[in-house]
């Protein structure tokens, strides 16, 4: 019996040495979202529209990576009426409590917008004044640089510059609120202002979980540009109804 006890102790000893009782797995969180909306009409009206969005979040103990890709397209049997693509990336370095510093890049291509290209790079500071189970509110402030290429297809002024760049101040607010167990509401507001122009964005979305990781999402993106080229509009609005699938 003594020999068996000795062998058992010898066999289990290395396991305790390799995996201590208080060992914990590293805290990492990986989330991906994919949403898609399609519409096609035939008969008296020939038209189609397409919009998609992908988001990838990698939330580690000391840093958080957030990447978003968006695309919008609409056309009828003769012309294309909307074509827009956007790439966003933000890296947050977490500080003590709910504070963090961030670096951010935002690139937009919009064939029919007041500006066909807008590229923004910014850095700043953020924190969460409200961080609860059902409600999370985030505030951010920072500085950056913006490059613009104006849409001059409707102007007759040959001396108007197509491109400009400027330093900007960026202020943002993000609200995530769970209304019920299967429904949630998000609101993101951003103002980016410089000496040449001011751009404000408001993104609203309502999500209803249908089954497991599949949800119905209703969204509205509103963009206001203060200074615009001749023949373009100050406000752009995109409304979407999409199916959204979450990978965890």
Indicate the domain borders of the chain.
29-247
What pLDDT does residue 231 have?
85
As a dihedral over the C-alpha atoms of residue 182, residue 69, residue 230, residue 152, rounded to 10 degrees, the angle is -160
pLDDT digits (tens, 9 = 90+) for 22-51: 434 444 489 999 999 988 877 666 889 999
Distance in angstroms (rounded) separating the CA atoms of residues 86 and 186: 19
Cα separation, 182 vs 199, in Å, equals 34
CATH (residue range 29-247) = 2.40.160.40
Q: Output phi, psi for 11, to 5 deg.
A: -70, -35
20 φ/ψ angles, rounded to the nearest 5 degrees: -60, 155
Strand 183-194 and strand 115-131: pairing? unpaired
**97 or 5: which carries more pLDDT confidence?**
97
pLDDT for 160? 65
Round to whole Å and give the CA distance between 110 and 238: 12
Tokens at residue 119, please? 């590229």
Number of CB atoms found within 10 A of residue 29's CB? 11
pLDDT at 56: 97
The answer to which of 66-70, 73-77, 118-122, 211-215 has the lowest mean pLDDT is: 73-77
pLDDT of amino acid 164:
92
Residues 6+ apart with CB under 8 A from 63: 91, 92, 93, 94
**Residue range 112-171, pLDDT digits in tens:** 999 999 999 999 999 999 999 899 999 999 999 999 999 888 776 655 678 999 999 999
CA distances for 75 relative to 37, 45, 66, 115, 242, angstroms: 14, 11, 31, 20, 18
Task: Give the pairing type, strands 235-247 and 214-225.
Answer: antiparallel
Query: Per DSSP, which regions of the chain are E strands?
Result: 29-41, 47-59, 63-76, 80-94, 99-110, 115-131, 135-150, 163-178, 183-194, 198-211, 214-225, 235-247
Q: Could you tell me which residues come within 8 angstroms of residue 226 by beta carbon, excluding any fewer than 6 positions away? A: 197, 198, 199, 234
CA-to-CA separations, 38 to 47, 49, 212, in angstroms, rounded: 11, 6, 22
């Amino acid at each position: 019996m003594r020999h068996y006890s000795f062998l058992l102790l010898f066999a289990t000893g290395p396991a305790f040495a390799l995996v201590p009782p208080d060992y914990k797995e590293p805290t990492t969180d990986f989330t991906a979202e994919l949403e898609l909306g399609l519409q096609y009409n035939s008969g008296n009206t020939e038209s189609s529209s397409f919009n998609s969005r992908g988001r990838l979040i990698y939330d580690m103990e000391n840093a958080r990576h957030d990447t978003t890709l968006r695309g919008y397209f609409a056309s009828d049997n003769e012309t294309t009426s909307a074509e827009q693509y956007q790439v966003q990336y933000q890296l947050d370095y977490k500080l003590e409590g709910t504070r963090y510093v961030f670096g951010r890049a935002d690139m937009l291509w919009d064939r029919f917008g007041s500006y066909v290209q807008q590229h923004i790079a910014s850095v700043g500071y953020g924190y969460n004044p409200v961080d609860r189970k059902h409600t999370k509110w985030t505030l951010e402030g920072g500085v950056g640089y913006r490059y613009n290429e104006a849409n001059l297809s409707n102007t007759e002024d040959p001396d108007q510059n197509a491109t400009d760049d400027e330093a900007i101040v960026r202020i943002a607010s993000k609200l995530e609120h769970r209304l019920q167990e299967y429904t949630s509401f998000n609101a993101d507001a951003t103002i980016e202002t410089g000496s040449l122009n001011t751009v404000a964005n408001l993104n609203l979305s309502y999500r209803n979980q249908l089954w497991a990781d599949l949800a119905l999402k209703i969204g509205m993106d509103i963009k206001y540009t203060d200074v615009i080229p001749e023949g373009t509009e100050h406000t752009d609005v995109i409304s979407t109804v999409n199916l959204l699938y979450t990978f965890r």
